[in-house]
Every structure is written in C-alpha cells, then in structure tokens.
Amino acid sequence: MPAYQSPQRDYEFVLNELLDWSKVNGLPGYEHASPETVSAVLSEAGRFCADVLAPLNRNADEEGCHYENGVVRTPKGFVDAYRSFSEGGWVGLSAAEEDGGQGLPYSVLFCLEEMVSGANMSFGNYPGLSRGTYKVIREHGTEDQKKKFLPNLASGIWSGTMCLTEAHCGTDLGMMRTKAVPDSRGAYKITGEKIFISSGEHDLTQNIIHLVLARLPDAPPGIKGISLFIVPKFLVGADGKPGQRNALRCSAIEHKMGIRGSATCVMNFEGAEGYLIGEPNKGMRAMFTMMNMMRIVIGVQGIGLAEASYQVARHYSKERLQSRSGSGVKNPEKPADPIIVHPDVRRMLLTMRAYAEGCRALALWTASYIDISERHADAKVREDAEDMRAFLTPIVKAFSSDAGYEATNWGVAVFGGHGFIREHGMEQFVRDAKITQLYEGTNGIQSLDLAARKLALNDGRLVQAFTRIVGEFLAASRNAEGNPVVAALGKAFDDFATATEYVRGRLDNNTDDVGSAATDYLRMTGLVALGYLWAKSAEVATRAGADNPFYRGKLVLAEFFAAKIMPQTASLLQTIKAGAAPLMAMTADEF
C-alpha cells in the first residue's frame, strides 16, 4: 500500500483561490495566519501524519485497545505518537494564544483534522475531543474554570470527552437518568452510567476532563432539565496539578466494527465530584457548542478516509493489469492493460475524487463562516455567517460522511476481490468510515435537523441565505455559453427550490411527509452545495489556465460531477414529493 500523502496543493487551492483567504486572515486576531504561514503549518502537519501516524494505523486496527480492571491501554506506538503530537502544538492549533495555543483559524484546524483522519482516524479521536472540551469551557466556563482547565487542554497534557449517551436513550437525551446532587462545598456529586464515550479512559494524558450531562434534583422533565458538569478523572489541587482520583471508572470498552484504536468506553460515575458549567438546566445549550464543532469534524473524518482510500485505489489502478481497453490496446508491451483504462474503474475513481475534493471545499467553506461568525467586527456580518454555519453543519456532517463511506466502498471495488482481503487495507477504510454516519447524531437525525428545524428557523432565514448565495452566482454565470457545469447547477438548483417549497409547506401539518423527505432533501442540498463549489472551482481553473495539469484536473472533475452526479437531484425530487404514504402504509405487524 502506498504511503498516505496530505493533499497540500488542494488545501492551498481551496483556501487561497476558491475561498479568498484574506477574508479569514484579515479578521482580528488572525493576522498572523498568512498564506505562507498556513502553507508551512499544513506542510509540517502532513509530514507528521504521513511519517508518524499513518504507519501506526494498520497495527492499531489489528491490536485494538486493551482493557483490564478499569485501565485502558492504547495500541502500540500511540503513547509516543501522542507525546510528539502534543509537543508539536497540534492539539492546541486553534486554541487561544493566552492559553498556550497557536490561535490559528478553524479553517486551518479542519485541514489538520482531515489529514489526521486520513492517516489514522483512531488516533485522531483523542485530541479531537479535547479541542471540543476546550471550546465549551472557553465559551461557557467561569474564569476559575478557564484558568484551571484550559492551558492543560490546549497543550494536550490533559484530554477531554463528552459524556451524553445512556444505554436506554441515544439521541433522546431528555430521557437521561444521570443525577447531580449539590454538596456542601459548591460542587456536585454526579451519579450515573454513560456509554459510547470516545476517549473516556486511556494512557495518553495525565488527566481526562469529562463534560457530563446530568439532572439536578429539582430539574424540570425532558430536555429542558439537563445541566452540564466538568468532571475530572483526577481532582485538580490548588497547585493546578492532578491529585486524588475522582469517583468515576471505566467499566468496559466496546469491541467495534472499526476505529479499533480509539477507546469507546462505558463510564460509571459513582458520586464523582463535578462542577456546573453554564446555567442550571441549560446544559444542552453549552454542550451544543461542542456538538456542532464535532459534527463538522466527523464530516471531515469522512473526507479524510475518502482521500486515503482514493490514493491507494489510484495507485493500484495504474499497476494492476487486467483485460484490454475497449477502445484499443493501450499497453502493447504487456499482456494486459492497467485497469485504469476501463470506464467503470474510472467512474469509481472519479466519484471518489469528486467527493473528496468537493466535500473538502464544503467543509472549509463552512469553517470560514465559523471564523467570521466569531471574529468579524460587524455584528450583522457575524450573524449572517452564523446563519450559514448553522445551515451547512448538518450537511457537512451527513453528506460528507455518506460520501466518505461510499468512496471507501468504491475503493474496495477498484481492488475487486483483493479489496475484500484484509492485507490490502481497503476494508479497514470502510469499517472506520461507517461510524461517521452514526455518531454525534446519525445522519437521519442530521437530515431531520435540516428539514424540520433549520428550514423553519428564523422564518426561513437560513435557507434563504444559502439560496441567495447560489442564486447570485448563477445569475452572474448563466450567460457563460456552453458551460455545462453552470447549466447542470441551474437545473439542480431549480429542483432544490421546488423541494424546499414542498418541505416547508408541510412543516406545520404533516411531519411524516417532512420526515420521509429529510434524508433525500439533505442529499439534494449537499449536491447543490458541491455543485456550486465545483462550478466556482471550474471558473478559477479556467482563469488560471487549463494547460496546467492541476487546473485541468479541476475542470475535468467539475464536468464529471455536473454530468454524472449532480443530475441525481431530479430523482431525489421525485422521491421527496412521493411523501410519507409509501413508508407508512404497512402496519408494524406486517413488517
């Protein structure tokens, strides 16, 4: 298997040419993030991922994590790799400089997240969750909590988790039973069991800081009665160092289909000391700070796996000899042609690459709105950016993870029967990719968030912002005669407008119709978003000159996406308009 290589040139294209990096590094506090600095940072990150993380990936999958009497050991090599990763400043890449971080934009962080996921997704879960924990405490914690926890989270000396799920309830967090009882010292005693806790216990850091959702004694029922607590593995002493072990324990780790090097834990809190973060009964508001970030990160994980799978499949398709080209012999000095000459192999490879590069542009486009929403001096600009961030988040999570899973399956298919054999590594990509469609809210939940919530939010303001951006681009570009990408985008955008009108028209009185349309509607929206970005990419490439192989590749991919993938919106419109009747006609007993 060829070694993983970071898509450095494509990062530079998206950030500097497609999205205009000056809109990000011109923000207050990001002036140091020049294109040259960002390029150097990403180049070094790519080297680390290729040289240190990728070689550990196969062994981590084979070995998995080890559990014994509450202690979890990560796979061989992870401890040293994590030490180098944290010492290199990668955990705190986007953390504030006053906390010891590098203070770089999220647009840069998500490039790093993709590289780490492509090289070794299991490893990436450990520092990834720490960044989310850092962000919650930074935005919702007291000054004492920030001082106590943020520097060590930013440095990677400590790590973080999010503890939400319980065995009897998954997404329906209003049913949770974990309790928080005030003690006499202003803290709380946390009691309950949480499952599926990524990085809940491991041997990489000195302390683990858990963010735990729980109920106060007088909490109202349902989702409105949930509070959020900081619960450290080791209590932090007056000197800021870990001290006494808290009353919490990992009672088991899950044996999983994929990401076997990532410890997924059952965590028992047995009167553990915790500290309220944010307001009582407003825990979900604070936790969504982390959840929204992690949803984008998970979409980026799918992109990383799509890219990694594509790189291996591309190499194999140029080396593997089988059959002759239907249009004539291409390799007469050998007994057969390489399989890359065959149209169906090219279909699979181009689909993988179009998804990887298109979804990368989508994720970094979304990241730019996060940066703008947090840093821009103008309140209206921040509000508009937040609207786009909110609208795009479920699409990045669901569409990109679906695309990543599809791409990794195509990677197996390029290898044929050899792809089904473990020694080639392609099936690991599939197994690792599957979880991205499930955790942090399944993609069905993301689809409902888009169709049932985001379309209605602020009287449709979010979808109107997206529609305005794509519509204005089409209005400015449709006069370009003979542009197949713009023409295909125009048709897809018309389908999207019709579908949006259909779904919004049923929000008040036919929730089953909305639910039945949600997954197809999110996919359609993702196709339009990628179509917009591919059309813009084609414009940039045309201006740069198609005689350059990199830009010619962008043009070819844009036209492939327009001709072979984007027309799916037409069939999606038909399934959306079919409504809920075909799904709901069968009684439960008839299944």
Q: Which of 176, 278, 171 is nearest to 221 (CA)?
A: 176
Distances (CA, A) of 287 to 12, 75, 173, 284, 291: 32, 30, 12, 5, 6
Cα gap 567→339, rounded to integer Å: 27
Closest CA to 428 of 578, 580, 186, 256: 256
Strand 234-236 with 242-245, pairing: antiparallel
Under DSSP, the state recorded for 169 is B
In the DSSP assignment, the letter for residue 50 is: I
Based on DSSP, count helices (H) and strands (E) in the chain, helices before strands.
18, 11
**Angle at CA 497, nearest 5°, toward 513 and 301?**
80
Phi, psi of 207 (to 5 degrees): -150, 155
How many Cβ atoms sit within 10 Å of the Cβ of residue 324?
A: 16
Per the annotation, the verdict on 386 as an active-site residue is: no
Q: Tell whether the torsion through CA atoms of 569, 570, 576 and 582 is positive or negative.
A: negative
Rounded to whole angstroms, how far apart are CA atoms 40 and 61? 31
CB neighbours of 207 closer than 8 A, spacing ≥ 6? Answer: 152, 157, 158, 159, 232, 233, 234, 236, 242
3-state secondary structure of 5: coil
* Structural contact between residues 394 and 291, judged by C-beta atoms closer than 8 angstroms: no
CA distances from 404 to 74, 270, 435, 529 (A): 26, 39, 11, 16
Residues 204, 159 contacting (CB under 8 angstroms):
yes
Task: Report yes or no: 204 and 74 within 8 Å, Cβ to Cβ.
Answer: yes
Distance CA 275, CA 252 (A): 25
- Total count of residues recorded for the chain: 591
Beta-strand ranges (E) seen in 74-184 are 158-163, 179-182
> Tokens standing for 125?
């879960």
Q: Which of 113, 114, 374, 440 is catalytic?
A: 440
Q: Tell me the CA end-to-end span of the chain in Å, nearest whole number.
A: 44
CA distance 317 to 88: 36
The answer for residues whose C-beta is within 8 angstroms of residue 379's C-beta and 6 or more apart is: none
Q: How far is CA 200 from the centre of its chain?
A: 20
Residues 496, 465: Cα–Cα separation, whole Å: 14
Give exposure, 291-306, as e/b (b: 16+ Cβ within 10 Å): bbbbbbbbbbbbbbbb
Pairing of strands 248-253, 264-277: antiparallel
With H, G, I as helix, E, B as strand and everything else as coil, classify residue 247.
coil
Report phi then psi at 329, rounded to 5.
-60, 130
Active site residues: 440
